[in-house]
Amino acid sequence: MGLPLAITGTGMVTGVGLNAPASCAAIRCAIDNFQETRFMDSGGEWMMGCEISLEQPWRGKTKLIKLAAAAIGECLRNDQRIDPQATPLMLCLAEQTRSGRVLQDDNQFFLDLQNELKLEFHPKSRIIAMGHVSMAVALRHARDLFAQQRVKHVLIAATDSFLIGPTLAAYEEKERLLSSNNSNGFIPGEAGAAIVVEPVYRNEQPQLICLGLGFGLEKAHVDSEQPLRADGLVAAIKESLADAGCDMGDLDFRITDISGEQYHFKEASLALSRILRKRKQEFDLWHPADSIGEVGAAMGPAMIAILKAANEKHYSKGDRMLAHLGNDDGKRSAMVFAWQAVESADGQ
């Protein structure tokens, strides 16, 4: 089993809330903010999107910085124990291959973000530009940092937006966007999200703990012509279950980055049918993109913030959860979480 990690803080800025409690409450109530954007589809209709309204009409790189800074700032305000200079920041961003990606220099973006926050983070900070699966990769790096370095906290933050002209044009051309011409697509959104991660210490109060991580590669990805068997997602889930020391039947519900396309619902269903061996009355599948749209790299930390809020507010479907994420290029990741008190100092 890998080192368990405690999620002790969250921050979030979405189209339905400018902080984590507001966003999670809106998502719980199935509220969305889907409105006509300033972009037009090929049929001459205004595209729908989930845009974040800030105090000024920032765009592009500047807006991404503002979103990330707001989510990180929320985490820091809520936990005065965190010393930024002693805390590595894992910054999750869109894939380098994303069409219309506005960031040309990720390292400069990191420096600009620090300037925006007027802070400097630990030298072991890093950028993870891997889209959806960035979250799980960041948790893996956090495990390594806690094992090798004397750090007390790791911040994982993400910022991303699909509300960019060239990005929308590229996805519309591939018939991936929900539009007047296509019912099998996603609604673009934008978000900033962050979580605080710590090693698991003895705590009589329940906390959200990441018990398992897993990764896979799907050859029959969404842009391929190959028949889908969900091999990549199955591999990721099996690895995360083995890492957590449990079976799929031990889990209570799932949360995922699915944002409306039939491909991803089919993949999740296939993976479940290949792994679950215990009959369950229900095994819910939560997909927050129904409220906030497709938010790319920010979906991972947003999903974890939602799990934490659901357990704290007692509307979770159970104490053990599976989260899974996938990229267009076939990369898959899975995470097993538990809401539990910890009786011994080593988390076992």
Q: What is the pLDDT of residues 59-79, one digit of tens each?
A: 999 999 999 999 999 999 999
Please indicate, yes or no, whether the overall pTM of this predicted structure exceeds 0.75. yes
Tell whether 179 and 296 lie within a shared domain: no
Tell whether 104 and 244 lie within a shared domain: no
Nearest CA to 294 among 32, 61, 28? 32
Whether 94 is in a domain gets the answer yes
Tell whether 47 and 182 lie within a shared domain: yes
Non-local CB neighbours of 120 within 8 Å, separated by 6+ positions: 84, 85, 114
pLDDT, residue 203, reads: 85
Tell whether 225 and 162 lie within a shared domain: no
- From 146, 166, 199, the end of a domain falls on 199
Non-local CB neighbours of 86 within 8 Å, separated by 6+ positions: 122, 151, 152, 153
Tell me the percentage of the chain whose pLDDT exceeds 70. 98
Q: What is the pLDDT of residues 190-232, one digit of tens each?
A: 999 999 999 998 888 999 999 999 999 999 999 888 999 999 9
What CA–CA distance (Å, rounded) separates 92 from 130?
7
Whether 336 is in a domain gets the answer yes
Tell whether 26 and 51 lie within a shared domain: yes
Does residue 335 contact residue 139 with C-beta atoms inside 8 Å? yes
Does residue 190 contact residue 98 with C-beta atoms inside 8 Å? no
Q: What is the pLDDT of residues 34-43, one digit of tens each?
A: 999 999 988 8
Q: Is the pLDDT of residue 159 over 70?
A: yes
- From 143, 165, 199, the end of a domain falls on 199
Residue 251, token pair as written in the block: 């889990």
Q: Is the pLDDT of residue 297 over 60?
A: yes
Whether 95 is in a domain gets the answer yes
Tell whether 67 and 17 lie within a shared domain: yes
Whether 347 is in a domain gets the answer no
Mean pLDDT of the chain: 95
Asked which of 123-127, 220-224, 309-313 is least confident by mean pLDDT, the reply is 220-224
CATH code (residue 322):
3.40.47.10
Tell whether 309 and 337 lie within a shared domain: yes
Number of independent structural domains in the chain: 2
Tell whether 180 and 308 lie within a shared domain: no
Q: Is the pLDDT of residue 234 over 50?
A: yes
pLDDT, residue 344, reads: 63
- From 182, 199, 216, the end of a domain falls on 199
Residue 242: give the domain boundaries: 205-342
Cβ neighbours of 106 (radius 10 Å): 16
Whether 348 is in a domain gets the answer no
Tell whether 29 and 150 lie within a shared domain: yes
Tell whether 176 and 233 lie within a shared domain: no
